[in-house]
Amino acid sequence: MWMHSRGHTPPPHRESALEVVDTPRQVITAAPRDIFEIEKIFTRNEPRKSRRLVLTVRDPRSVIVSEIHSLLGLDATLEDVDINPFALTLRLEKFSLTDAKQAPLVAFDELDVNAQLSSIVNRAFTLSEFRVVKPFVRVERDAQSRLNLKALIPPEEPNAEPEPESPPPRLIIASAVVDGGRIAVIDRSGRQPYETELGPLDMQVSDLNTLPNQEGDQQLVVQTRFGGRLEWTGKMTVRPFTASGHISLAGEKLTRISAYLPAELLASIDDGALDAEFDYYLWTRDDRIAAEIANVSVAVRALGIVQRPDAGTGPDLLRLGEIVVEGGPLTLQISGANSPAILVAMNRIRN
């Protein structure tokens, strides 16, 4: 028996021997496909009676990119994949996904997943860590109010039968972390385009799971592009769904909201800042969804509204030192698909 690799001359053919020829070949193309292929040719006595065994080893990058393209019809790139089957870890590096117009849609620098053998004991897919570094999401609404993120939803099969309702897969994540995320927001449906960016976004979730009556903790901190700081802390259970916590926004500049003022006002906001905070509680029971917002405080400070430049010059339309709305609660109850009821009780407005 002898082995042959590219670049070497094989010995003379021997009729009675079983010949094995190994020819490694690397295939790299623009389209996602297998990149390693080993061919083994077995010949016994008669050359005409031959068998060929092709052993294909697929690059994980090629598998991921091609599956995304097959499922969504979108182009993706992935720089590196690191899989450790003994430690049950997975790392993806430098991933990006573009929409049909080749505009960036989703990206991240690094994604780390650490699975646990305790999945067997818990009878649930268990992760000790889920971490994504510098993720980016572009949220865009066009002039026809179509949202670009719909491209992430696979198209439905025309002849597919509706699947019966079932509980979510059993999942336990001990720690989920988002580090340095950014969200670009673009809205072209208004009178004039509106663009902003949220970030850096840092989020930490502990004990997230889909098991019945199990609670997890969430914490989110976002620095907005216009000076605001958004903080969210809370608790959540998935089965049944309940969520409670506190949300606050401080120092958000109001000048960019001018894009949403009615065109007939011929006005724009040239100054002002928004502070807001509230407690919330959400729950479901049977077919009823309910939400309650309490301890509400909304403050607008140093608000200035002037005439738009395209409408000529004129005096300031409004200068306001401070207005504060406090109180609550605000309750929303939906007993069915089309029967919402909103109960509002605001205690105090002062300026």
Kindly report, residue by residue over 235-282, the tens digit of the pLDDT: 888 777 888 999 999 999 998 777 777 777 788 898 999 999 999 998
Answer yes or no: is pLDDT of 203 > 90: no
Query: Do 235 and 215 meet the contact criterion of CB atoms below 8 Å apart?
Result: yes
d(CA 271, CA 253): 8
- Predicted pLDDT of residue 271: 92
Q: Find, among 24, 22, 26, 57, the residue nearest to 41 by Cα.
A: 22
Answer yes or no: is pLDDT of 115 > 50: yes
Answer yes or no: is pLDDT of 1 > 50: no
- Going by pLDDT thresholds of 50, 70 and 90, the confidence category of residue 328 is confident
Which parts of the chain fold into alpha helices (H)? 60-72, 118-122
Among 39-48, 104-113, 120-129, 261-270, top mean pLDDT goes to: 104-113
d(CA 108, CA 232): 23
- Predicted pLDDT of residue 255: 87
- Predicted pLDDT of residue 99: 92
- Predicted pLDDT of residue 110: 97
- Predicted pLDDT of residue 18: 34
- Predicted pLDDT of residue 150: 92
DSSP per-residue letters across 238-306: TBTTEEEEEEEEEEEE-GGGGGGS-GGG-EEEEEEEEEEEEEEEEEEETTEEEEEEEEEEEEEEEEEEE
Instruction: Spell out the residues 6+ positions from residue 268 whose beta carbon is closer than 8 angstroms to its own.
Output: 255, 258, 261, 305, 306, 307, 308, 309
Place of tokens 């992760």: 127
Q: Burial of 101 by CB count in 10 Å (0-12 exposed, 13-18 middle, 19+ buried)?
A: exposed
Q: Using one digit for the tens of pLDDT, what is the confidence trace for 56-89? A: 556 888 889 999 999 999 999 999 999 998 999 9
Mean pLDDT of 290-302: 90
Classify strands 288-307 and 318-327 as parallel, antiparallel or unpaired: antiparallel
Place of tokens 């903080």: 231
Q: Using one digit for the tens of pLDDT, what is the confidence trace for 21-56? A: 344 433 333 344 444 444 444 445 555 555 555 555
Residue type, 346: M
Query: Do 197 and 204 meet the contact criterion of CB atoms below 8 Å apart?
Result: no
Pick the more confident residue, 137 or 235: 137
Q: Is residue 200 reached through a cis peptide bond, with omega within 30 degrees of 0 on the bond before it?
A: yes
Place of tokens 């999401």: 137
Mean pLDDT of 213-242: 82
- Predicted pLDDT of residue 209: 81
List, in sequence order, every beta strand (DSSP E) within the chain: 19-26, 36-43, 50-57, 76-84, 89-98, 104-115, 125-133, 136-141, 171-187, 194-209, 215-224, 229-237, 242-253, 267-285, 288-307, 318-327, 330-334, 340-344, 348-350
- Going by pLDDT thresholds of 50, 70 and 90, the confidence category of residue 335 is low
What is the SS3 assignment for 83? strand
Pick the more confident residue, 16 or 43: 43
Determine how many CB atoms are found less than 10 A away from the CB of residue 266.
15
Pick the more confident residue, 293 or 40: 293
Among 123-132, 212-221, 283-292, top mean pLDDT goes to: 123-132
- Predicted pLDDT of residue 241: 81
- Predicted pLDDT of residue 54: 54
Mean model confidence pLDDT for the chain: 78
Instruction: Spell out the residues 6+ positions from residue 342 whose beta carbon is closer than 8 angstroms to its own.
Output: 330, 331, 332, 333
